A and B are shown apart, each in its own frame.
Chain A
Amino acid sequence: MILALTVLLLFQLAGEVLVRAIALPVPGPVIGMGLFFLFLLLRGGPSEEMRKTAGGLLQHLSLLFIPAGTGIVLYGELLAREWLPLTAALVGSTFLAIAVTALVLNTLLRRRATNRSTPQ
């Protein structure tokens, strides 16, 4: 577990360094994920230990958002003043984005499946 955690931290570190070195507008861990993915492709898959450690971390992904999420307590006043546009924008836009993304992807996949099953 410690070895796997060390590997994850090293890839995060590499991501953070890269982001600063070439001024990327993306957080280090996201670049770290990309680098680690390339590493897995080259290596031909994760070790058993890495699979378990990654699974353990991702199973409790919800926990990791709680500290930052609790920061909402600092914006009580602004939220009270602008609650209507903020709520409408969040609810409307989130549900719209889910529906549009799911519909576009579903339509494209289905069209491709029918094209494949009926070759000319």
Chain B
Amino acid sequence: MTPRLTEIWVYLAASPLLGLSLTLLAYQAAQWLYKRAGFHPLANPVMLSVAMLVTVLVVSDMPYEHYFDGAQFVHFLLGPATVALAVPLYAQWPRLKAMAGPLTIALVVGSLTAALSAYGIGAVLGASNASLMSLAPKSVTMPIAMAVAEPLGGIPALAAALVMVTGVLGAVGTRYICRWLRIRDHAVRGFAIGLASHGIGTARAFQVSEQAGAFAALAMGLNGLLTALSLPWILPWAERLFGR
């Protein structure tokens, strides 16, 4: 690089402007591709954006911490957005109340399936203990998963990465799984996607219908609460079961 270019790069690398602009730019590009693909679940915008950003960080040799200095402004909005989920939840409240019994049973069964099957498959195939503890909360929203993984001996940032992949898998796979099971009800599809793949699944559900989105938001919130409260009790038992 010429001295002038180096100077510009030094400025950009130190300023939060670059990380923020890159995030928004990647999102715009991913949205454009998603639209071009007819909103096909395989063109998931979170997955496309992350793939673009990881490529940029690796190629330009920019440390993640520098990138995050800028991207944190976007990251911060996750808090108020989570609170805002109460609005679609309120809109669906009459239907949710009428289905309270079935929803509770599906929640408990689904939540246990998500955590124990992740732990079990990982343990059988020889994942390390830190990975297993980061895997178990993978179906719940990122901040909860990170908070749950740490005291159990998991790695919070790894948990966040596994949560992201889970979200994308759920956003991509739910349509095919439900079609195969011949389940068409948007409330059922929404609840399943929100339970198994948290906010990324919920974001996808909102693009399908408001009803699917509201049920996804409900499942995400409830599974977050249930997992946070139950995993510290369940995992020691799972450890014994799989001889760890």
Contact = CB atoms under 8 A, between A and B. Distances in A.
Interface of A: 5, 8-9, 11-12, 15, 25-30, 32-34, 36-37, 39-41, 45-46, 50-51, 53-55, 57-75, 78-79, 82, 84-86, 88-106, 108-109, 112
B181 A102 contact: yes
B58 interface: yes
B106 A105 contact: yes
A70 B99 contact: no
- Interface range for B: 35 or more
B84 A64 contact: no
Interface of B: 19, 23-24, 26-27, 44-46, 49-50, 53-54, 57-58, 64, 67-68, 71-72, 74-75, 77-90, 93, 99, 101-103, 105-107, 109-110, 113-114, 117-119, 121-122, 124-128, 131, 135, 138-139, 141-144, 147-148, 157-158, 160-162, 164-167, 169-170, 173-174, 177-178, 181, 183, 185, 188-189, 191-193, 195-197, 199-200, 202-204, 206, 213, 219, 221, 224-225, 228-229, 232
Nearest to A66: B49
A70 B103 contact: no
Nearest to B139: A97
Given A90-B166, A97-B196, A101-B195, A58 B81 contact: yes
A82 B123 CA distance: 11
A39 B199 CA distance: 22
Given A37-B86, A57-B81, A86-B131, A67 B125 contact: no
A104 B64 contact: no
A69 B106 contact: no
Contacts of B185: 106, 109
A89 B125 contact: yes
Q: Is the interface of A mostly helix, strand, loop or mixed?
A: helix
Nearest to A50: B87
A88 B46 contact: no
A29 B167 contact: no
Given A101-B192, A106-B185, A12 B80 contact: yes
A70 B84 contact: no
Contacts of A45: 90
B221 A30 contact: yes
Contacts of B188: 102, 105-106, 109
Given A53-B84, A59-B206, A99-B181, A30 B225 contact: yes
